[in-house]
Amino acid sequence: MLHWRSSALVLLLSLHWAAEAQAHICQAPEKKCDFVCDCTDCSDEENCGYRGKGFECDFEDAGLCGWTDQSFSSAYSWYRHQGGDMRSNSGPSSDYTTGTAIGWFMGVSAVTSESLNTALLISPEMRQSSPTCRLRLRYFLWDSGHTGLGSTPLWASVIQRNSQEALVWRPEATSVRGWREATIFLGRIATAFQVHLYSQRSKGQQGDVAIDQLEFLDCALPLPLPAECSAGMLECRREGCVEQRQVCDGSDDCGDGTDEENCAPDGYRLCDFEGGLCDWDLRSLSPLKWVWTSQQKLSITGPLIGPGRDHSNNTASGHFLYVTAPDGELTADWAAFQSPLLEPTNSSHPCKMVMYTHQFGPRSGGLTVLVADHKIYPVWERGGALGDVWVKAEVEIVTEFPFQIVVMAAIRDFAYGGIAVDSIMLSPECRPSTANYTIPKFPKPPKDPCAEPDQMCNFYPDCAGAEDEAKCGDFSYPEGSSGWTDTSIGNQGWMYENTGEYLYVAKAPGQQLTEAQTRTPLLGPSGPACTLSFDFAVTGNPDHIGEVSLRVIDSLLGVQPKLWEFSGKTGIGEAEWQNASVTLGARKHRFQLAFEARAVKLCPCAKIKVKNVRFLSCYADYFPSSPTGLSCNFENDLCGWYQDNSDNFDWTMLSGMDHTIGIGKSLVVDMWSPSLRGLFGRLVSFPQLPSSTDQCLSFFYKLYGPNTGALNVKLLDKHGYETVLWTRSGAHGNMWHETHCTVPQQPTGFRLMFEAVRSGFDGQVAIDDVAFVARPCTVPRMCSFEGQRCGYTSSGQAHWLHRSGYSTTIAGPKTDHTLETELGFYMMANTAANILPSGSTAVLTSPVRQGTARTECVHFWYHMGGVNPGSLTMYMKPVKGDRVKIFSDSLNQGDVWRHGNGNISSALVDWQLEFEVVGAGGKDTHVAVDDIFLSAHPCESQGSRCNLERGMCSWSNTQNIKADKLDWELTSQEVERHYSTPTEDHTLGTDRGHFLFLPSSNRTAGNQNAQLLSPHLPPTKGTCLRFWAWRPLSSDSRLWVWRLSEGRLHQLLVVNDLGRPWRRFDINITSTEEYQIVFEGMKGTSGTLALDDIEYTIGVNCAKEVTDPITTKRSDNKGGMAASVIVVLLLIATLVALLYYYLRIRPEVQAMTGPSSSSPPTGGGFTNQSYEPDLTQDRMKVPPAQNHPMEAGFNHVNESTDVKEMEVA
C-alpha cells in the first residue's frame, strides 16, 4: 500500500512539474505577443494590444488590452469612453462592438487651443510580423463643432527598435457621423515594434475622434508543419513552408530570409534602391520626373507626404522611387522611368519582373508598365489609389525584339498623394543587351473625354452614341465590361473571360490574404429606383467554394457595408448561374461599385464568376410613378418613399404588427437589434411640387420600449436644408397613435423625411398608414410644438410666441415640458403690463376639428410665472355658436409645468380650442402651454383609479436626463412580442389587460432608473395612494415610491420582495407643501417590474377618513355637460327621423330589389390606399372591469413620510 501511494505521489508531482514547465515555456518572453497561441489558454497573447485567440481588442475591459495614453500634454489626450458619456452633439452615441451606450471605445478629449495639440495612444511591444499582417479597426471622425477637422485628425505609425517611425495609415479627413472600417497594412516587420495612433487638432469636441474593435489578421510568421513541405514548396529554416511563387520575389516571406538567400547566384537582379538606382534610368520626356528618395528626405512631420516607409525595410529611412504633383502648377500629368536595354525573350523563357507599388491618395491616377521594342505598348496596368499599402505586381514580357521596360505613372491635380515603386526583381531571363536600339515613338495620347468628369458614368447619355456611358461596367454596352478594373491587393484577383463574357476570380501575385476586388469607375449620382442586376455562379465539387459580395464605395463616406453577399455554391456544373437584383437606391454622392470574392481554394474544380451586369433605372432625376403618391400602408412597397443611403441604417418592412389590419406590414426600426449601428435611419419622399397652401401629413406611429429613441418628421428644401416639422421621443406604449403634421406652404419643390434617431437602444419605432393631402390639418391629437405650431394661430393685443428656453430672452420657462430641456419648444404669451395691459387678451386658437358624438378629454401642460401673471382659460369654440369654458387658472404656481384637462362634447358640431390669457398688470410675467393632447375618452377625476386600459391618465415619464435614463412602458401580454412581462394584468386578470412595466435588458446599463410622476398635488394631512405591483422571484429589479416636493425626494416605500405575482400596497401620504408622487424603478440584470391600478384619493387617507377640506376643481365642465345634453337630444331626434324614413321606403325598396342577399366584396389583398383613422389610441376594445380573484388578498402598508431625503438634480 505504501509503495502504491509513493508511486501515485511521484506521478502527481511529475504531472505538476510538467504542467509548470509547459506553462513556463509558453510564457517565455520570446513567445509573448508573437500572434501565436503557445499556451493552451492563449495567455501568452494577453494585453498585447489585443487579447486571446481572436487577436482582438474591443476596449470593454478596463485594461485596454495594454494600450496606454502617452499624449504630449493633458490638453488633448485619449481616454476610454462610453456613448452614454457623450454630449448629444458630439462623439459616437454608441460604441461599435455592442452598438449600445454601455459599450466602450477609445476617444479623444475636447480641445480648444490656438496651436495644434497631439494625442498619442501606444500599443504594447509586439514581436515581428509577417508580410501579410494587417490591423482592421473601426474609426469615428466627426467635426461636430464645425471647427474643421484639419488635415491630419487621425493617423497611425509603427516604430521598431532602434528605428524611426514609419507611417502606415492616413484616413481621409472627411467628417461623417458614424463608425467606418479601415485596414492598416503593417507588413513585414523583422524586429519588435509598437503601433502608435495619433490625433492632431487645435479645436474639437469630446469623442469626435475615436477608435474601436481592433483585429490583428494574418500576422504570424509561417508555423512549423508536422510533416515535410509538400511538393512545390520551400522549407524555411524556421521549419515553416512557403510557396515557390514567393521565392526570390523581393519579400522575406519565411521570416528568416531563406526564400531570398540564393537569388543573385541564380541570376536574379534585385534593386531595393538602398544603394542608388541600380541600372534604372529616370530620364523622361515629361517635365514631371520620378525621384530617388526616402521618407526621411520627403518629410517626417507631414503625415500626408510620401508613402511613409519603403517596402524593402519597412522603415522611414529606406529608399524608393517616388512621383507626385509639384508644389506649383501641374504642367504634365505623367512621368516615366525605364530599364536598360534587354535581350529578346520567348514564351518558354519570358522575362519576369516583380515590383512593389504604393498608390496613395487622390493624386494617384494609376500605374502602367509598357514594353518599348520597335513600338511602345502596354503589358500591365493598375489604376487609381489602393491605400496605404505596398502591393506586389508581376509582369511577364515576351518579345522577339530587344526592348526596354517603361514604368509610367499618371498623376492628378489634387491635394495630396503620390505613387512609389520599390524592390524591383528581374528574373534571369531579363538579360542585358548590347544591340543597337532606336527609341520608338510614343503612341498618341487618348482623345479628351466627350463630357465633363462629373457627367461621365452618371447613367445619362450626355455624348453622341452614349460614349460617356460605354465603359462604366454595364455589360449591355459592347465595351461595358472594360469598366470593371481589378483593384485586388492580395493573392486572388478578378479577370475577364472574353469568350464567355464574364468576370472570374483567379490567382494573383499579391501577398495579402484579402478578398479579390474589382471596381467600376465613379458612377452617379443615382435615383431611388436604381437597381443592379447580374448573374453569378459559385460552382465546383467542394461543398463550400467561397464567398462573393457587392458593396458601395462612396466618394465622401468611404467604404460602405456589404449590400449583397452569397456564400457556399450555386451548383456543380459550369452553367449553374443564378440571378441577383440589388437595390442601390438614391445616392447623392458619386460612388463606385465593387465585387469582392474569396475562394477557399482556387483550382479548375472551383469557380466564382459574374456576368450580365446591368444598371436599371439609375438616372438621378428618375422617380417611378406611385399611384398613391406619398399615401401608403406599406403592404406592397414603399410607394413614394425611399431609403436614404447616406444615413446609418434602413427602415425594415415587418409583417404581423401593422395598424391597418393587425397582421399586415409596417415600417420599423428595432432599436434593440444588436446589428444596428449609428444614429440615424431616414425614409425620404419623392420630390413634391411647390404649394401655395398648407398641406397635411397624417400617419400612425409607435414608440415603444424603455429606451426608445426618437422619431422626427423633417422637411428638406431644394438645397437639402432640414427643418423639423414634428418630433416625439420616449415611451408611448405598445400601441399605435395617430398624428397630423402640418406641412407649411412651400414656394419651391421639397421632400419630406421620417427620421428614426437611435438615441435609445432598447425599443422600437414604427410608422404605418401614411396619408398626404393638399389641405390643412385638423386639430392634431397631440401637439408638442417641437418644430412647428401644429396650425395654432395667435390673435388679440399680444401674440403667443413659439419659443424655447434657449431662445427666450424675456421671462419664460427655462425648459419645455416635452423634452425637459432648454432646446424644447412651447407656446408662450408675455403677460407683462407693458406688453399685455390689465384686462387685455391674447388668444391661441387651434385648427378646426370635426365634431363627434363622444365626449373627449383635452390634456395639456401649462406654466404661469411672475407676480400677477393673469388668467388662463381654455374654451371649446363651436364653428357656430358661443364658446364654452373648459378650464381656468389665474395663480402663479411656481417654476413648474402643471397638468390641466377638460371634457369636450361638441354635439357633432365642428369646433376649435381657444387658450385665452387675460393680463393682470404684472411685471416679468408669462403664461405658456405645451403638450396638448386630445384623448378619445372622457377625463378621469383626479382621485379616481387609473387602470391603464385607456392610457397613462395623468401620470407621465420624466424626460429629464438628470433624473433618469429609462421610461416606464405601457403594454399588454396580448400584444407583447419582445419583452418578458406578466402573463396577465391586475385589472382584468387577462392577457388583454394593460399595465406599466420596466424590463431588465442587456441593451442598457445595469442599475439605470425610470421615474413615473403624478401631477402636482396639493398639501395634505392624509392622502391615500394605492397601487398593485408585480415582480417575479427571479428578478433583482427594485422599486421605490417617493414624495417629490421643492426639488427633494422623500422616501415613502421600498419594495424588495413581493412574495406573489401581483401585490397591493396602501400608503398614507402627508405633506405640508405641494408635491408629486414618484414611482422609481431600478432595472437589474433579469426580470421585470410592473405596476397597475394606481389610485390616490386627495384629502382622504387609507382608512377612508377625510383629512383635508374639500376644494373646488379648476376644471369647468358645465359647458361640456350642457353640450352632452344637446347631443343626446339631437341623437334621439335623428333616430326618430331615420326610423320614420325607413318605414316609409321599405316597401319600395323590397319591390325594387327582391329578396335580400349578401355577397362578399370582390378582390383580395390590400393595396396602398388610405384608411380611415381610428379615433381611439388603441384598436383593442376593453370589456368592463371584472373583480380579479386577487382582490381578496389586500396588503395594507403604512409608511412614514419622514424616512429619507435626497437631492434631485
Please check whether residue 1123 lies inside any domain of the structure.
no
pLDDT beyond 50 at 1195: no
**Model pLDDT for residues 439-472, shown as the tens digit of each residue:** 888 777 767 778 888 899 999 999 988 999 999 9
Listed range (826-835, 889-898, 987-996) with the worst mean pLDDT: 889-898
Cβ-contact 115, 75 below 8 angstroms: no
pLDDT beyond 80 at 1203: no
Residue 1111, SS3? coil
Q: What is the mean pLDDT of residues 738-744?
A: 91
pLDDT beyond 60 at 1162: no
Cβ-contact 511, 631 below 8 angstroms: no
Task: Return all residues near 533 (Cβ < 8 A) that are at least 6 apart.
Answer: 579, 580, 581, 582, 612, 613, 614, 616
pLDDT beyond 70 at 4: no
Q: Report in angstroms the alpha-carbon separations of 327 from 119, 320, 331, 334.
A: 29, 20, 11, 16
Instruction: Verify that 124 and 173 share a domain, yes or no.
Output: yes
Q: Which residues in 361-460 belong to E strands, given as ranges?
A: 364-372, 376-383, 390-397, 404-411, 418-426
Distance CA 133, CA 578 (A): 35
Q: Beta partners for 782?
A: 933
Distance CA 807, CA 826 (A): 11
Residue 72 amino acid letter: F
Instruction: Verify that 685 and 608 share a domain, yes or no.
Output: no
Q: Which residues in 123-192 belong to E strands, given as ranges?
A: 134-141, 155-160, 165-169, 176-185
- Kindly list the strands in the beta sheet with 193-204, ordered across the sheet, starting from the edge strand earlier in the chain: 68-69, 111-122, 193-204, 155-160, 165-169
Residue 1141, SS3? helix
Instruction: Verify that 1096 and 1061 share a domain, yes or no.
Output: yes
pTM of full prediction above 0.75 = yes
- Residue 1165's pLDDT band (boundaries 50, 70, 90)? very low
Q: What is the mean pLDDT of residues 658-666?
A: 86
- Kindly list the strands in the beta sheet with 502-507, ordered across the sheet, starting from the edge strand earlier in the chain: 492-497, 502-507, 606-616, 531-540, 578-583
Please check whether residue 9 lies inside any domain of the structure.
no
What is residue 20's predicted lDDT score, i.e. its pLDDT? 52
What is residue 12's predicted lDDT score, i.e. its pLDDT? 53
3-state secondary structure 896-959: CCEEEEEEECCCCCCEEEEEEEECCCECCCEEEEEEEEEECCCCCCCCCCECCCCCCCCCEECC
Please check whether residue 1196 lies inside any domain of the structure.
no
Query: What is the DSSP annotation of 599-625?
Result: ESS-BTTEEEEEEEEEEES-BTT----
Q: What is the mean pLDDT of residues 213-231?
A: 88
Instruction: Verify that 413 and 474 share a domain, yes or no.
Output: no
The angle at the Cα of 790, spanning 939 to 737, to the nearest 5 degrees, equals 55
Instruction: Verify that 657 and 609 share a domain, yes or no.
Output: no
The angle at the Cα of 244, spanning 242 to 245, to the nearest 5 degrees, equals 105
The Cβ of residue 459 has, within 10 Å, a number of other Cβ atoms equal to 21
Report how far apart the first and last C-alpha atoms of the chain are (Å, whole number).
75
Identify the CA nearest to 397 among candidates 386, 407, 388: 407
Please check whether residue 479 lies inside any domain of the structure.
yes
What is residue 240's predicted lDDT score, i.e. its pLDDT? 85
The angle at the Cα of 1167, spanning 1164 to 1169, to the nearest 5 degrees, equals 130
What is residue 224's predicted lDDT score, i.e. its pLDDT? 80
Distance CA 1095, CA 947 (A): 8
What is residue 87's predicted lDDT score, i.e. its pLDDT? 63
- Residue 941's pLDDT band (boundaries 50, 70, 90)? low
Please check whether residue 53 lies inside any domain of the structure.
yes
The count of C-alpha atoms lying within 13 angstroms of the C-alpha of 252, restricted to the half-sphere facing its C-beta, is 21
Q: What is the mean pLDDT of residues 961-983?
A: 90
- Residue 754's pLDDT band (boundaries 50, 70, 90)? very high
What is residue 1161's predicted lDDT score, i.e. its pLDDT? 37
Distance CA 108, CA 153 (A): 11
Instruction: Verify that 928 and 964 share a domain, yes or no.
Output: no
Element of type H or E holding 1143 = helix 1118-1153
C-alpha cell at 374: 520597335
Instruction: Verify that 970 and 824 share a domain, yes or no.
Output: no
What is residue 1201's predicted lDDT score, i.e. its pLDDT? 36
Length of the chain: 1209
- Residue 378: asked if its preceding bond is cis (omega within 30°), the reply is no
Please check whether residue 1051 lies inside any domain of the structure.
yes
Instruction: Verify that 301 and 388 share a domain, yes or no.
Output: yes
Q: Which residues in 298-375 belong to E strands, given as ranges?
A: 319-323, 334-338, 351-360, 364-372
Instruction: Verify that 771 and 833 share a domain, yes or no.
Output: no
The Cβ of residue 63 has, within 10 Å, a number of other Cβ atoms equal to 11
Instruction: Verify that 974 and 896 share a domain, yes or no.
Output: no
**Model pLDDT for residues 360-405, shown as the tens digit of each residue:** 999 999 999 999 998 999 999 988 888 899 999 999 999 999 999 9
Cβ-contact 849, 909 below 8 angstroms: no
Cβ-contact 199, 209 below 8 angstroms: yes
Instruction: Verify that 418 and 333 share a domain, yes or no.
Output: yes
Handedness of CA 514, 515, 521, 524 (dihedral sign): negative
Cβ-contact 103, 95 below 8 angstroms: yes
Please check whether residue 181 lies inside any domain of the structure.
yes
Element of type H or E holding 108 = strand 104-108
Distance CA 659, CA 679 (A): 26
Distance CA 746, CA 280 (A): 67
Please check whether residue 715 lies inside any domain of the structure.
yes
Q: What is the mean pLDDT of residues 228-256?
A: 88
Question: How far is residue 957 CA from its own chain's centroid?
Answer: 26
Domain that holds residue 1048: 956-1109
How buried is 321 (Cβ within 10 angstroms: 0-12 exposed, 13-18 middle, 19+ buried)? Answer: buried
What is residue 938's predicted lDDT score, i.e. its pLDDT? 87
pLDDT beyond 80 at 25: no
To which residue does cell 536598360 refer? Answer: 340
Cβ-contact 1015, 1098 below 8 angstroms: no
List % helix, strand, coil for the chain (3-state, nearest 5).
Answer: 10, 40, 50
Distance CA 378, CA 398 (A): 12
Query: Quick one: DSSP state of residue 720?
Result: -
To which residue does cell 398624428 refer? Answer: 739
Instruction: Verify that 772 and 797 share a domain, yes or no.
Output: no
CATH number at residue 761: 2.60.120.200
Q: What are phi and psi of 1135, to 5 degrees?
A: -65, -40
Task: Return all residues near 85 (Cβ < 8 A) that are at least 6 apart.
Answer: 207
Distance CA 84, CA 707 (A): 12
C-alpha cell at 225: 508543419
Q: What is the mean pLDDT of residues 602-610?
A: 88
Q: Output the average pLDDT for the chain.
A: 86
Distance CA 116, CA 301 (A): 13
Distance CA 763, CA 704 (A): 5
Cβ-contact 1117, 886 below 8 angstroms: yes
pLDDT beyond 90 at 1196: no
**Bridge pairing between strands 78-82 and 104-108:** antiparallel
What is residue 823's predicted lDDT score, i.e. its pLDDT? 80
What is residue 573's predicted lDDT score, i.e. its pLDDT? 81
Element of type H or E holding 6 = helix 2-26
**Model pLDDT for residues 499-540, shown as the tens digit of each residue:** 889 999 999 988 899 999 999 999 999 999 999 999 999 999
- Residue 1209's pLDDT band (boundaries 50, 70, 90)? very low
C-alpha cell at 133: 499582417
pLDDT beyond 90 at 1003: no
Structurally, how many domains does the chain consist of? 6
Cβ-contact 860, 874 below 8 angstroms: yes
Residue 451 amino acid letter: A
What is residue 1188's predicted lDDT score, i.e. its pLDDT? 37
Query: Quick one: DSSP state of residue 834?
Result: T
pLDDT beyond 90 at 603: no
Residue 138 amino acid letter: R
Q: Report in angstroms the alpha-carbon separations of 538 from 532, 580, 607, 608, 1054.
A: 19, 13, 6, 5, 63
What is residue 229's predicted lDDT score, i.e. its pLDDT? 87
The Cβ of residue 171 has, within 10 Å, a number of other Cβ atoms equal to 18
To which residue does cell 331615420 refer? Answer: 1138
Identify the CA nearest to 338 among candidates 293, 294, 286: 286
Residue 410, SS3? strand
